[in-house]
């Protein structure tokens, strides 16, 4: 159980000019205490009950789990509005008690004690509390792989990073995906739910973690509650569980399949799971090929993995959906018309033999290299970022070229000239070959790289400005233990009704 080690009430702060108006509120605020804490559904969550809260004037309650001594990570925290707390049944007006879900705690060990700060705002009066607690032990599904990865390079606090936490995605492991901080500490795990089958597809949006569970979309709250949002079978889509959930124009881009179209469909859904839009690349590409006089049947093969969609993103400035086809290329289609706009990829592969597809090919400028078998496409500052795995096609023939190393690449796309210019790349020293899965994402001038298919186990690298390595952790086991990792911000979440 959580153990109350220390409760400290700091002097209530009264906004100037409001002291007389809210004198009774200020007096009441000094009586706020931590009454109890009860473990949540995982060791990284606790439900802390505050007593003596003047609920008639309560506006917000904020908590922050303070970083360990010496850490440069931001504290994990959130602000709950009074309306939100009421809507979740967490306030008790008769007793002046409020239960605050606290997440992002450190796991229990011999020396760790969490220090949680609370800020309670009540109409011009602000009360500050600190509370120390320990947590119950966590049962790592890998034994100790997540809890104690091999530290190739410990966090170098001199190298600034634009993120403190990341969502680490696994393949069919209970308790995953999980959230890890840049010190390598696990701070949240997917809550146990017998009704939810864990699959690879996941993403963090709207203060919650979404996963594809077979044909269903599930949302997990950071406080540990899970909700089955919907199944898309009635819409003709199945297997919402293959790869990524990415940011769309109005919602989330989720990869899906139909009865005949394998790993080549994207659906856009809102935070409640409602279907907003869809793109079927079997239809999109077949139509474009047929319209230009090519026979698509040798390229688009129903009920086969001819496309192998592994990620997608929305390019706001051009109103385009950018999709990564591991077998073929990166392809852009107009969000509304769903017409092909451009294609970027290895021209020695099968697709380039078709004039209809070749017409959309971007020309590589001198000194630039096209990606092969890429993953994790994203748009940053109007540039395309991706993980270039370097592995040839598995299904298409000709399969194209292969490399024996993987590179992070960033491209500038000139849509008028139809060219792609490689403006930045990163090749790890020594070189790492991660032929499948893997990822790279950018926050500010820093990057999080996941070499998921390293033979010795996935390598997580935090990269700062000027390609300085901020940390490198190696997770034992196959790529399924950490096939993708994306930075997320848990420092200042806001929950409203």
pLDDT digits (tens, 9 = 90+) for 118-171: 999 999 899 999 999 888 889 999 999 999 999 999 999 999 999 999 999 999
pLDDT of residue 400: 98
- Going by the DSSP 8-state scheme, the letter that residue 191 receives in this structure is P
Name the strand (E) or helix (H) holding 290. Answer: helix 281-291
| Distances from the Cα of 163 to the Cα of 127, 152, 183, 444, 445, angstroms | 29, 20, 11, 9, 10
- pLDDT for the residue numbered 19: 39
What stretches of 72-201 adopt beta strand conformation (E)?
Answer: 76-81, 91-92, 97-103, 114-122, 125-133, 150-153, 165-169, 178-181, 186-189
Just give the CATH number of 6-133: 2.60.40.3100
What is the per-residue pLDDT for 172? 85
Question: Would you say 107 and 37 are in contact if contact means Cβ atoms under 8 Å apart?
Answer: no
Distance CA 130, CA 120 (A): 11
Q: How far is the C-alpha of 35 from the C-alpha of 45, rounded, in Å? A: 17
* Main-chain phi, psi angles of 256, to 5 degrees: -150, 175
- What pLDDT is recorded for position 497? 86
Nearest to 50 by CA among 23, 66, 28, 68: 28
Q: In what order do the strands lie in the sheet with 91-92?
A: 33-39, 45-51, 97-103, 91-92
Q: Residue 242: its pLDDT value, please?
A: 79
Q: Of 168, 174, 214, whose CA–CA distance to 193 is shortest?
A: 174
pLDDT of 11 reads 44
Low-confidence residues of the chain, pLDDT below 70? 1-29, 109-112
What ranges make up the beta strands (E) of 1-70? 6-9, 13-14, 33-39, 45-51, 60-65
Nearest CA to 111 out of 70, 140, 142, 74 is that of 70
pLDDT at 28: 65
Question: Looking at residue 112, what is its pLDDT?
Answer: 65
What pLDDT was estimated at residue 272? 96
pLDDT value for 325: 98
CA 471 to chain centre: 19
Cα 115 to Cα 239: distance, rounded to the nearest angstrom: 42
Query: In the 8-state DSSP scheme, what is residue 480?
Result: G
Q: Tell me the domain boundaries of the chain.
A: 6-133, 150-489
Task: Dump pLDDT digits (tens) for 430-450.
Answer: 999 999 999 999 999 999 999
Determine the straight-line distance between the first and last CA of the chain, rounded to whole angstroms. 30
Q: Which two tokens stand for residue 494?
A: 């806001």
Distance CA 483, CA 450 (A): 7
Phi and psi of 323, rounded to 5°? -120, 145
> What integer pLDDT is reported at residue 14 of this predicted model?
42
Fold of 150-489: Neuraminidase (2.120.10)
């Amino acid at each position: 159980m959580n153990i109350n080690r220390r409760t400290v009430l700091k002097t209530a702060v009264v906004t100037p000019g409001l002291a007389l108006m809210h004198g009774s509120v200020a007096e009441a605020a000094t009586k706020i205490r931590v009454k109890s804490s009860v473990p949540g559904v995982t060791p990284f969550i606790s439900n802390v009950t505050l007593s003596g809260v003047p609920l008639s004037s309560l506006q917000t309650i904020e908590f922050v789990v303070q970083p360990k001594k010496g850490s440069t990570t931001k504290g994990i925290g959130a602000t709950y509005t009074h309306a939100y707390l009421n809507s979740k049944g967490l306030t008790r007006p008769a007793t002046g008690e409020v239960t605050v879900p606290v997440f992002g705690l450190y796991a229990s060990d011999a020396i760790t004690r969490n220090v949680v700060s609370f800020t309670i705002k009540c109409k011009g009066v602000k009360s500050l509390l600190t509370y120390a607690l320990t947590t119950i032990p966590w049962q790592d599904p890998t034994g100790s792989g997540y809890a104690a990865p091999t530290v190739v390079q410990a966090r170098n606090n001199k190298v600034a990073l634009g993120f403190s936490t990341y969502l680490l995605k696994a393949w069919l492991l209970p308790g995953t995906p999980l959230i890890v901080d840049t010190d390598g500490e696990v701070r949240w795990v997917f809550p146990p739910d017998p009704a939810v089958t864990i699959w690879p597809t996941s993403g963090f949006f709207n203060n919650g973690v979404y996963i594809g569970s077979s044909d269903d979309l599930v949302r997990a709250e950071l406080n540990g509650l899970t909700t089955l949002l919907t199944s898309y079978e009635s819409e003709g889509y199945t297997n919402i569980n293959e790869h990524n959930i990415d940011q769309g124009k109005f919602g989330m881009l989720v990869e899906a399949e139909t009865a005949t179209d394998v790993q080549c469909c994207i659906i856009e859904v809102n935070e409640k799971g409602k279907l907003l839009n869809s793109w079927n690349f079997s239809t999109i590409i077949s139509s474009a090929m047929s319209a230009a006089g090519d026979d698509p049947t040798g390229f688009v093969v129903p009920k086969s993995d001819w496309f192998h969609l592994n990620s997608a993103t929305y390019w706001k400035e051009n109103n385009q959906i950018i999709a990564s086809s591991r077998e073929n290329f990166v392809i852009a289609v107009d969000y509304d018309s769903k017409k092909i706009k451009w294609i970027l990829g290895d021209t020695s592969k099968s697709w380039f033999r078709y004039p209809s597809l070749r017409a959309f090919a971007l020309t590589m400028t001198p000194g630039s290299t096209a990606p092969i078998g890429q993953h994790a496409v994203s748009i940053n500052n109007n540039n395309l970022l991706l993980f270039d795995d370097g592995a040839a096609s598995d299904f298409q023939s000709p399969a194209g070229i292969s490399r024996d190393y993987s590179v992070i690449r960033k491209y500038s796309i000139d849509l008028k000239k139809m060219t792609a210019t490689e403006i930045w790349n990163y090749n790890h020293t020594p070189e790492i070959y991660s032929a499948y899965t893997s990822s790279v994402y950018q926050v500010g001038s820093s990057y999080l790289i996941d070499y998921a298919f390293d033979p010795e186990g996935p390598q997580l690298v935090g990269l700062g400005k000027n390609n300085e390595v901020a940390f490198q952790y190696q997770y034992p086991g196959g790529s399924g233990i950490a096939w993708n990792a994306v930075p997320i911000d848990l420092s200042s979440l806001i929950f409203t009704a």
